[in-house]
Homo-oligomer: A and B are copies of this chain.
Amino acid sequence: MDVARLAGVSIAAVSRTFTPGSSVSPKMAERVRKAARQLSYVPNNLASSLITQRTNIVALMLPNFVNQIYSALLSEASLRLEEIDKQLLLFTPFNDSDLDRTLQRMLEYQVDAIVIAAASISSHMAALCHGRDVPVVMLGRHMPNLPVHSVRGNAEDGGTKAAKLLLSGGGKRFGIISGDQTYMTMVERQQAILQCLRVTNDIENVAIVDGKLTYEGGYQAALEIMRGEDRPDSLFCLTDIMALGAMDAIRHNLNLRIPEDVAVIGFDDIPEAAHESYNLTTVRTPVRQMIHHMMDLISLETPQDPPQTILIDAELIIRSSTRSAHNNP
């Protein structure tokens, strides 16, 4: 290598100079650094990774960016990883059939760990990753019996808390704007809500409409639900982004009041939920804590340990889109 020649030392010496903790005399290190500066030398990570078996790259799979909650997860992960000089390699597969191919490509890049948000993993790929000692962390989804870690908010707890709140606010007629039922989180939130409603009241039918996990979808779903007969006085939106659409439809299109005419609760606590125009009561998705646990899991010294499942308690963020117990309509 040119630097070694210019400095008149061995190749090993320049390698040691750029490897913290190696034994080099200050004199030699100085000589090497000077030569490196002259040649604008930049170490080649690929070559070193080939030997050390570490790339300091973590692969992250995200389904999309339309829901702010994914940006939040990405942002927090990126910040925390940057602190320990690791980088995020981003993958956004178009559809579920791409999943295996995407995972395969992650492995080709020799990433140190794989983080999967809101998607699944085949047992075949899970085994492959496990066999290669690449830890896999699922965010917001549990894959029982697979050798992958899992970190998520307790959707059941969240659904229950949401239902209890609307019930205590005097809710009698309920609607749910739901999302893609292939996401376990959606199913769990909905099940918990329904179960809680059934136990407490004897409710025969709850209007459930798919909100497509978007603002626009939430808007349309709210229109449909609220125009039906037996108009709900309480509306669950399985994600905040749909709740924002629903609130806008309720207020600006249907000219109803929130929470007087209808209480609205969401899930996630995206930044917009706190905007004064919405002031949405919601069940927070614990992004900070999830990423905190993710960080621990990907840096486990013993990757072959049994997979861990971490469940984080739901936190209710009460704002003004719901009624409190003592001011029922």
Residues on A facing B (Cβ under 8 Å):
40, 42-47, 49-50, 55, 57, 64-66, 68, 71-72, 74-75, 78-79, 82, 85, 87-94, 104-105, 107-110, 128, 131-132, 215, 219, 244-245, 247-249, 251-253, 271-272, 275-278
Contact = CB atoms under 8 A, between A and B. Distances in A.
Given A92-B82, A247-B277, A277-B277, A43 B108 contact: yes
B271 A252 contact: no
Contacts of A88: 89-90
Among A43, A44, A128, A275, max chain B CB count under 10 A is at: A275
Nearest to A70: B71
Given A40-B128, A66-B271, A87-B91, 8 more contacts: A42-B128, A44-B50, A45-B110, A46-B110, A57-B109, A74-B90, A244-B277, A272-B272
Nearest to A82: B92
A45 B277 contact: no
Contact of A90 (B78, B92, B251, B276): B78
Contacts of A104: 42
Contacts of A64: 75
Nearest to A74: B65
A74 to B, nearest CB: 7
Contacts of A45: 108-110
**What are the 5 A-B residue pairs with the smallest beta carbon separation, nearest first?**
A65-B75, A248-B276, A277-B277, A88-B90, A45-B108
30 contacts: A42-B108, A44-B50, A44-B108, A46-B50, A46-B109, A47-B50, A50-B50, A57-B109, A65-B75, A66-B271, A78-B92, A79-B92, A82-B92, A87-B89, A87-B90, A87-B105, A88-B89, A89-B90, A90-B90, A219-B276, A244-B275, A244-B277, A247-B277, A248-B275, A248-B276, A248-B277, A249-B276, A252-B276, A253-B276, A272-B272
A305 to B, nearest CB: 21
A89 to B, nearest CB: 5
A65 B275 CA distance: 17
A131 B87 contact: no
Contacts of A57: 89, 109
Contacts of A278: 277
Contacts of A128: 40, 42
Contacts of A94: 82
A226 to B, nearest CB: 15
Contacts of A72: 65
A277 B154 CA distance: 31
Nearest to A132: B42
Contacts of A65: 71-72, 74-75, 78
Nearest to A47: B50
Contacts of A93: 82
Contact of A110 (B40, B44, B89, B110): B44
A75 B68 CA distance: 11
A43 to B, nearest CB: 6
